[in-house]
Amino acid sequence: MKRSIILCCIVTLFNFSAYSQILKPVTWSYAAKRNGPTEATLYFKATIDKGWHLYSQLIKDGGPVKTTFSFVDSKDFSLLGKTTEPKPITRNEPNFKMEVSYFENSVIFQQKVKLKGKNITVKGNVEFMVCNDKQCLPPEQVDFNIPVK
Structural domains in the chain, CATH included, are 24-148 (2.60.40.1250)
pLDDT tens digits for the chain (149 residues)? 455 444 333 434 444 444 456 899 999 999 999 999 999 999 999 999 999 999 999 999 999 999 999 999 999 999 999 999 999 999 998 888 999 999 999 999 999 999 998 889 999 999 999 999 899 999 999 999 999 98
56 bridge partner residues: none
- C-alpha to C-alpha distance for 120 and 73, rounded to whole angstroms: 13
State pTM to two decimals: 0.84
Count CB-CB contacts under 10 A for residue 5: 9
